[in-house]
Every structure is written in C-alpha cells, then in structure tokens.
Structure 1
C-alpha cells in the first residue's frame, strides 16, 4: 500500500473513532472492557513495569495496566483518534491514575523510544494496513531479551453475526469487511496463523489462549445503539439514509434467531489472546 493511500486510510479511521469517542464502550453492553481485561490478566503486568498500550481507545486495557504496575510503573497509551485520547485522558484523570501518559499516534509505526517491558494491543492489529510490519515495530519497542507482547484478535463467532454483517455488505466499499479483518481467511483465521505472524516479528515462546465472550442484548434497539458506538459506525455511515431503516430491520430479523428462553438476544464471540516474548 502506497504512503498516500495509507495516510488517507488512517485519516478515515481516525474520523470514525473521533465520531464515536463519547459513546465508545459507554452504552451498557460489556464488550471492549472484558476483552481487554482478560488480555491484561494473561499478560500479567508486574509492579514497576513500563507498558505500552497500542490502540488504547477509551482505556479498556490502559486502566487495568496502570492499576497492575502501580505507582512505580508507567503506562503509555497511544491511539490514532485524538478524540479517543481526549476521552481516555479524562477517564484516567477521574480515576486518579498518575502513572499514565496518553498520546495521539499511529499504531502502525509508533515513534517512541522503546524500552518497554510489555506491549499490549487489544483488537487492533487485524485492522492495520500491514500487520507484519506493525508487529515488528512493536517488538522493537520491547526490552530484549525478556520483553513481552500480548495481543487479542477475534476467533470464531455465532453464525448470526455473519448474517447481520450480510445485511450491510451490499452497501460497503471494498475492504471494509474483508476476509482478514473478519477472520474468515488469512493469518487471522486461525491460532497458528496469528502465532506465525508474531513469531515472524521476532518473538519466541508464542502461545494462544482462547476465551468466549457473550453479548446479551435486551432487543434490537440496544443492538442498534451498540453497533453505532464503535467501529461498526463506519458501516452505518456507508448506507444511504433512504435505506437505513430497511437495513436495520433486516439486521434485527437476523438477531431474533439468537433470542434465548429469557427473550433476550445472546451472541457469542471467541477471543484469541496471543502471548510471546521478545527474542
């Protein structure tokens, strides 16, 4: 991908997340926070360590990392979206966490001095234009030997997710729901594929831990609010206003297939945590 194309793509991504910063992970549907907290638990940050959170968003991992490393440690969080960083900074200040530094920066090639004991990135790498290059850049920021890398990506999911995505697909530009980002094909479609990417970046001791997250929604209205509170907002923005209600109705019809005996919508997503050590 040419530099101009990458710059344009980054600007579009930043604009989407700037637009959802106020509601990101704030609509009452646990999603990014439990996924990030599981990754942090597995990464096992220790008191006094220096940690980098790549693609920090509203701080789902940042806060847990800061609490784990304590006052003698330090966490740097970076995100491409200035509004997300601003919101995260406000959350961190409200919690009284003085050991956190937040910067607006592209996850693909962080311009940082390095020397981190741990680099964590939750649900970010598969959205980047060149994941192998990004992973190599993150590995170079680790202390060597012994620095640790911990990333999360999506594994398998309920077929209903795919059926909902299909209602959007006719309106989406090429690449917005490509096989790589959905995990349907390519290295992100398997544990071994992601492990090989991390190994190729210069890491050893690569291992995978799988977990399942259940999303429980009261109804289609709650799903609609949730879907517009994160990156899926870009999919909504690609639909002409005249077709908006029809797409929403079609998606909610698919979601009805996931209703349980309690009348609520239950969706499952497998999350893959890949852990490694710098060589």
Structure 2
C-alpha cells in the first residue's frame, strides 16, 4: 500500500464516515468534488472568492495577536487575509475536508511566508479542536453548503472564547424564494436552475438550500438572526453587499464556474447537451458586453457576524 493510499484509508475515509450533520453520501460528494476542483479552484483569473474573503476578515473585526479558525479554508481566500490581520503574534488554523485543497493552500502559505498559518485536513462540520480556543471562527463561502439549522452552527460557538466572534459569508439566498440563485446572472438563471436542482437531486442533496428555499435559514436577515440567536450567539449583524464580478466573455464565466462547487452541476449534464447549454449561456452573456468588452455580473453576498456571550 502506497503512502498516499494508506493516508487516504487511515485519515480521509474516517473523516467522511464520522460526519454527524450531513449524510455520508453528501460529505463524500463534497470531498470528491473539491478534491477534483482544488488545483484550479480560485485560479481562473476571475476575482470572486478573494474579495469576499478579504471583506469577511474586515467584517469580522479580527485583530493582531488573535487566534482564528477558518472553516472550509479552500485555497486561502479568507485564510491569508486573516493571517495578515493577526500578524506574526497570532495564529490562523485552516481546515478543509479536501487534502488537495490543504496541499495547495500550504504551498501558497509557505511561498507567502505566512508562518502563523496551520492547515489541517478536517471535516468542518465536526471540527475536532479544543473548546474555547479561538477568538474568531470564520468561514467564507463554505458553511452555507451544509449548515441548515442552529444545531449545525452550535459547534462553532463551542470553539470560541467568551466574547469571541463568529462570522461567515455566502452567496445571498434572499432571492431564492423567487427562484433566483445569486451566482447565476439574470440572463441565464432560468436556463441553469433546472440543472442545478437536478444535480442536487442526483447527489442526494435535494433538501438543500436551493430546493427548499422557504425553510432555508439564509432566506432573510431575520431568519439568519433567529438561527444564530437560537444557537446561543448574541449581537447578530447581517448585511448584504453586491460584488461586481467581471469577465471578458460568456465562455470565461462558464470556465470560472467550473472551478467552483458548480462544477458538480456541469459534470452531471450529458456531454452533448452540456455543449449546447454552454453555447447558449455564452451567447446570452456575450450580449451583455459593455463598450470595453467587459461583462459585469453583480453577485449579492451576505455577510453575517455574531458573538459568543461574554459570560
């Protein structure tokens, strides 16, 4: 047995099996998807995850010397800004279920000389870390994938010190009650939503936020606040901000989505049909070019923060 296979058998497989907040199938789906996407993840040249990560760290109020946990740290969109914010006297622990994501993030951290970063392969739904260790727990475009209720958020409260800060960011779900998904430009939303829902159904995640928008905790600021208060947090604040995502062609937008979690949707479309869908998406988006040849897709992002009680 090679070292890689032994490592997967001894570390990754138990990680997948031990999840307590999603089915084994859904967790394994995430693991496989993000392992495949890791090399290209956030590397398409389209500015999306990094500005969200920077804004989340700013919104979190992370200060020098703090101890921070980044859940679902991916390629470091929030991890690296957090490391800069805490400085050499602080620490940032990044966890991700994908060992490929961790591998690439570790290489990038080493290249940037960010020695205050520690990276671990770990299921973010069930972080096995010391209670009360962190001043802040954050998650940029990660937690929304599996969190559905106060019970799913409570483990992060337990990791915080008294008065610590929980903060996360997600593509806005405020419009899902109208059948609109934030990451889809208006021009292609009705074309792509059926494929997204079918993908979720095939992956066993059909009860997700997309398909069950009305019961989704992210559907409104009021629902977010209610969920976080029920989990035991205090002083909840929620803001929705628009992120202008720019591409030079509809094809580039498709390529960008293929380097994100939406890859799962594309891969479930039969090849010949997928070519037709991509061509139609590209045609519709190309029609939106401005005089400089730029297509701007406004994406609403929700940022939320709350504190652990001080006593």
Partners in 2 of 1:21 and 1:10 — Cα distance? 16
Once the two structures are overlaid, the 10-residue window that deviates more, 78-87 or 187-196, is 187-196
Match of 1:140 in 2: 158
8 Å CA contact 1:164, 1:254 repeated in 2: no
Q: How many residues align?
A: 277
Partner residue of 2:12?
none
Matched, 1:253 2:294: no
* TM-score using structure 2 length: 0.82
Q: Deviations over 1:87-141 (max 9, x none)?
A: 1111101101111111111111111113100001111222106443331000110
Q: Given the alignment of the two structures, is residue 99 of structure 1 paired with residue 116 of structure 2, yes or no?
A: yes
Cα distance change on mapping 1:31 and 1:235 into 2, 3 Å: same
Give the whole-Å Cα distance in 1 for the aligned partners of 2:21 and 2:231: 25
Task: Tell me the equivalent position of 1:172.
Answer: 199
Q: How big is the shift at 1:181?
A: 4.1
- Assess, with a 3 A threshold, how the Cα gap between structure 1 residues 166 and 8 changes in structure 2: closer, same or farther: closer
CA contact (8 A) 1:160 1:257 kept: no
In structure 2, distance between residues paired with 1:105 and 1:69: 22
Q: Which of 238, 241, 248 in structure 2 is aligned with 1:218?
A: 248
Aligned to 2:103: 86
Partner secondary structure for residue 153 of structure 2: helix
Residue 255 of structure 1, CA deviation:
2.2
Q: Tell me the equivalent position of 1:119.
A: 137
Match of 1:160 in 2: 187
SS in 2 for 1:24: coil
Calculate the aligned-residue CA RMSD, in Å.
2.3
Aligned match for 1:77, one of 94, 100, 112 = 94
Residue from 44, 49, 52 that aligns with 2:61 = 44
Bigger shift: residues 220-229 or 86-95: 220-229
CA distance 1:38–1:164, shift in 2 (3 Å):
farther
Residue 184 of structure 1: CA displacement? Answer: 4.4
1:265 aligned partner: 295
Superposition TM-score, scaled by structure 1 size: 0.91
Segments of 5+ residues of structure 2 without an aligned counterpart are 1-18, 176-181
Look up the SS of the partner of 1:172 in the other structure.
Answer: helix
Change (3 A) 1:109 1:161: farther
Q: Specify every segment of 5 or more residues in structure 1 that has no aligned partner in the other structure, as ranges.
A: none
Q: 1:107 to 1:5 in 2, by over 3 A?
A: closer
